[in-house]
Chain A
Amino acid sequence: MTLPSGIFQGSFKQDMAVFRTKTQWLMLLALFVFIFTMPLYASDKTLTTLTIIGITIISVLGLNILTGYCGQISMGHAGFMAVGGYAAAVLMARLHMPFLVALPAAGLAAGIVGIIFGLPSLKIKGFYLIMTTVAAQFIVLWIIIQMRSVTGGADGLAVPKPEIFGLVIGSKASYFILVMIIACLATYLAKNIVRTRVGRAFIAIRDNDLAAEVMGVNLLYYKLTAFFIGCVYAGVAGALMVNYINYANVEQFPFINSVWYLGMLIVGGMGSTVGVIFGVIAIQLLQQLATTAGPILAAVMVPQAAASLALIANGLVIIIFLIFEPRGLAHRWEMIKAYYRRWPFSQ
Chain B
Amino acid sequence: MSKIKLLTILSLVIILSLSILTACGTKTTTTVAPTATTIAAQTMYIGGTFAITGAYAEDTTAVLNGFLDYAKYVNDNHIIAPWYTDRTLDKNVTVQVLWGDDQLAPDKALTIYDDLKSKGLLTERVSSTAEGLALKEKMNADRIGATSQSTSPAYLSPPETIFTNAPIYTDSLAGAADWFISNWKDTTRKPRVAYLSADMASGRSIDIPEMQAYLEKAGFEFAGKQFVPLVPTTPPTTQLSWLKDNKVDLAIGFMVNGGSQPTIKEAVRLGMGTDQPYKITFAFANPAHLQIFVPAMGTIGNGVVVTGDFVAWESNVAGVQFANALNSKYRAGNPVTNIMYLDGIIEAMTQVEAQRLAMAQTGKTVSQLKPVDVLEYGFYQIKNFSDGDITISPLSYGPVLVCGVSTVRIQQVQNGKIVEVGSAPLHNIYKHE
Contacts and interface: CB of A to CB of B under 8 A. Distances in A.
Interface of A: 22, 25-26, 28-29, 32-33, 36-37, 39-40, 43-45, 47-49, 52, 145, 148, 153-156, 158, 167-174, 176-177, 181, 241, 244-247, 249-252, 254, 287-288, 290-292, 294-295, 298, 303-304, 306-311
A51 B19 CA distance: 15
A251 B207 contact: no
A29 B207 contact: no
Given A246-B137, A291-B111, 5 more contacts: A39-B23, A153-B204, A156-B201, A173-B23, A251-B201
Given A155-B154, A307-B101, A310-B53, A40 B22 contact: yes
B117 interface: yes
Interface in B224-277: none
Contact of A177 (B23, B99, B129, B133): B23
Contacts of B118: 43-45
Contacts of B4: 22, 25-26
Interface in B118-135: 118, 129-130, 133-134
B16 A250 contact: no
B133 A310 contact: no
Contacts of A249: 106, 129-130, 133-134, 201
B57 A308 contact: yes
Q: Which of under 10, 10 to 19, 20 to 34, or 35 or more describes the interface residues of B?
A: 35 or more
Contacts of B148: none
Contact of A145 (B98, B136, B202, B204): B204
Contact of B115 (A37, A45, A298): A45
B23 A154 contact: no
Given A155-B152, A177-B16, A254 B24 contact: no
A304 B23 contact: no
Contacts of A169: 24
Contact of B53 (A155, A245, A311): A311
Contacts of A168: 24
Contacts of B64: 298, 303
A303 B47 CA distance: 14
User: Counting chain A CB atoms within 10 Å of each CB, which of B5, B134, B138, B208 scores highest?
Assistant: B134
Given A304-B61, A306-B101, A287 B19 contact: no
A238 to B, nearest CB: 12
A48 B110 contact: yes
Contacts of A307: 52-53, 57, 61, 101
A99 to B, nearest CB: 14
B106 A245 contact: yes
B103 A37 contact: no
Contacts of B133: 156, 245, 247, 249
Given A33-B15, A145-B204, A176-B23, A304 B52 contact: yes
Q: Which are the 9 A-B pairs with shortest beta-carbon distances? A: A251-B130, A173-B23, A154-B204, A174-B23, A246-B137, A45-B114, A44-B114, A36-B19, A155-B154
Contacts of A44: 114, 117-118
A22 B105 CA distance: 43
Contacts of B52: 294, 303-304, 306-307
Interface string B417-428: 000000000000
Contacts of B117: 44
Nearest to B64: A303
B1 A22 contact: yes
